[in-house]
């Protein structure tokens, strides 16, 4: 149903008078109405039914969604709850042609999540010939699966160039939990492509050798470490003299943890400055702090010293080997 188009380039009628026009019968439905109020020859209902103010507005769209991390693609990948405000704003941004009409109300229409469709009901208003026509229409979005860039990086196997293997030869994971907190605090995981858990440690994969070296520097500032590096040539171009290599760095963290007992043989005890043979580990930071319970002396060991003596010392971990005692009474001893 089309409105008669000739009324638009018409000479104006009744413009000089502010008087109301007579009532006529609407040609489409036969109801009587006053045409000067609606501005056209049709009654308001027929005008509403015959005009389509939603022409030109997109009624279908596509949303991109990453299955692996559950994020929608607005130009950055963002996380949206179903039927949330962020999802609504994301959908509205994708609709073209909303500038010509005035938005009155937007609602979600319930859709089955497995249908991969999101529907919106939009109510809009437009002025036609001095009358305000309000129409509502549904917009359907199809949710397409697309892998976001971060997930792509994680899934492709051969994009890493450098690998940092962090190992600690203990049975518990206390240190790694602490390491995780430290990494998050200092944002040291930025350039890392992939993180993989291994036996007795974690592997960090990097695209660039420099990123891996930066991470190793970070680790060395946090713990006393021993680093070994190696490389492997993947491919070579002898004409240009270029080589494609993969670098692997092995970082070892000391076995010793806080509250561990260290048994020192006599020779080394004298080396360390005449301390007793039993030492308690007080703190592991940049250096290892050991406390002598008898003489109340604190001995500090840095990484190189520790790794030199590692074989000769015996470590007894606190967990599982300690019993808790309750102190009843303390007496001064002479």
Partner 1 sequence: TPPANYFIQAFHLTNPPPKVPHFFLTMATRCQFENSNDIGVFAKLTSNYCLVSIGASENFYSVFEADLAPYIQVIHTSIAGTRIIGRVTAGNKNGLLVPNNITDSELKQIRNSLPDGVKVKVMEEKLSALGNCIACNDYVALIHSDLDKDSEEIISDTLGVECFRTTIASNALVGTYMVMNNQGGLVHPLTSVEELDELASLVEIPLCAGTVNRGSDVIAAGLLVNDYSAFCGLDTTSTEISVIESIFKLNEVKTESKDNEMRMDMIKDLK
Residue 246, number of CB atoms within 10 A of its CB: 15
Query: In angstroms, what is the minimal distance from the CB of 14 to partner 1?
Result: 5
Query: In angstroms, what is the minimal distance from the CB of 90 to partner 1?
Result: 42
Binds partner 1 by CB under 8 A, chosen from 9, 20, 281, 298:
20
* 198 belongs to the binding site for partner 1 (CB under 8 A): no
Reported in sequence order, the residue ranges of 129-225 that DSSP labels E, i.e. its strands, are 131-145, 162-167, 192-198, 201-206
Q: Which of the stretches 27-35, 86-94, 97-105, 185-193 binds partner 1 when contact is defined by CB under 8 A?
A: 27-35
* 130 belongs to the binding site for partner 1 (CB under 8 A): no
Query: In angstroms, what is the minimal distance from the CB of 128 to partner 1?
Result: 14
Q: Which position has the token pair 């979005």?
A: 141
CA distances in angstroms from 153 to 160, 207, 235, listed in the order given: 9, 10, 21
Write b or e for each residue in 149-161: b if 16 or more Cβ atoms lie within 10 A of its Cβ, otherwise e.
eebebbeeeeebb
| Strand order across the 242-252 sheet | 192-198, 201-206, 162-167, 242-252, 226-237
Q: Which of the stretches 7-15, 158-166, 198-206, 283-291 binds partner 1 when contact is defined by CB under 8 A?
A: 7-15
Can you tell me the distance from the alpha carbon of 134 to that of 32, in angstroms, rounded to the nearest whole number? Answer: 21
Binds partner 1 by CB under 8 A, chosen from 9, 22, 149, 325:
22
Q: Which of the stretches 33-41, 100-108, 138-146, 175-183 binds partner 1 when contact is defined by CB under 8 A?
A: 33-41
53, 128 contact by CB (below 8 A): yes
Kindly tell me which of 16 and 187 has the beta carbon lying closer to partner 1: 16
What token pair was written down for 33? Answer: 């109405």
Kindly tell me which of 39 and 61 has the beta carbon lying closer to partner 1: 39
246, 221 contact by CB (below 8 A): no
Residues 35-74 that bind partner 1 (CB under 8 A): 35-36, 40-42
Kindly tell me which of 19 and 327 has the beta carbon lying closer to partner 1: 19
Query: In angstroms, what is the minimal distance from the CB of 43 to partner 1?
Result: 10
Reference 63, options 129, 142, 154, 127; nearest CA is 142
* 241 belongs to the binding site for partner 1 (CB under 8 A): no
What token pair was written down for 80? Answer: 């949206």
Q: Which position has the token pair 């500038």?
A: 99
* 133 belongs to the binding site for partner 1 (CB under 8 A): no
What token pair was written down for 29? Answer: 């439905």
* 131 belongs to the binding site for partner 1 (CB under 8 A): no
Q: How many residues bind partner 1 (CB under 8 A)?
A: 29
Given the rule CB under 8 A, which residues bind partner 1? 3-4, 6-7, 10-17, 19-30, 35-36, 40-42
């Amino acid at each position: 149903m089309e409105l008669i188009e000739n009324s638009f380039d018409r000479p104006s009628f009744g413009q000089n008078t502010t008087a109301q026009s007579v009532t006529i019968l609407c040609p489409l439905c036969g109801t009587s109405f006053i045409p000067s109020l609606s501005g056209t020859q049709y009654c308001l209902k027929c005008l509403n039914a015959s005009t389509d103010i939603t022409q030109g507005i997109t009624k279908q769209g596509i949303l991109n969604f990453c299955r692996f991390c559950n994020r929608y693609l607005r130009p950055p990948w963002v996380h949206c709850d179903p039927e949330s405000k962020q999802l609504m704003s994301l959908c509205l941004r994708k609709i073209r042609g909303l500038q010509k009409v005035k938005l009155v109300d937007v609602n979600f229409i319930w859709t089955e999540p497995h249908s991969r469709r999101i529907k919106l009901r939009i109510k809009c208003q437009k002025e036609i010939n001095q009358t305000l026509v309000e129409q509502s229409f549904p917009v359907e979005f199809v949710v397409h699966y697309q892998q976001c860039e971060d997930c792509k990086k994680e899934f492709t196997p051969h994009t890493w160039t450098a690998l940092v293997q962090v190992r600690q030869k203990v049975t518990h994971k206390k240190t790694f939990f602490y390491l995780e907190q430290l990494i998050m605090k200092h944002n040291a995981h930025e350039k890392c492509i992939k993180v993989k858990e291994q036996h007795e440690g974690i592997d960090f994969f990097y695209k660039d050798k420099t990123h891996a070296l930066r991470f190793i520097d970070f680790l060395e500032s946090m713990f006393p470490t021993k680093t070994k590096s190696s490389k492997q040539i993947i491919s070579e171009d002898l004409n240009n003299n270029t080589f494609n290599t993969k670098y692997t760095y092995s970082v070892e963290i000391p076995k010793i943890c806080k509250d561990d007992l260290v048994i020192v043989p006599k020779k080394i005890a004298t080396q360390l400055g005449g301390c007793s043979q039993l030492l308690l580990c007080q703190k592991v930071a940049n250096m290892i702090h050991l406390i002598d319970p008898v003489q109340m002396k604190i001995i500090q060991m840095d990484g190189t010293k520790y790794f030199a003596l590692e074989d000769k010392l015996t470590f007894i971990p606190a967990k599982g080997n300690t019993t808790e005692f309750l102190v009843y009474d303390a007496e001064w001893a002479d």
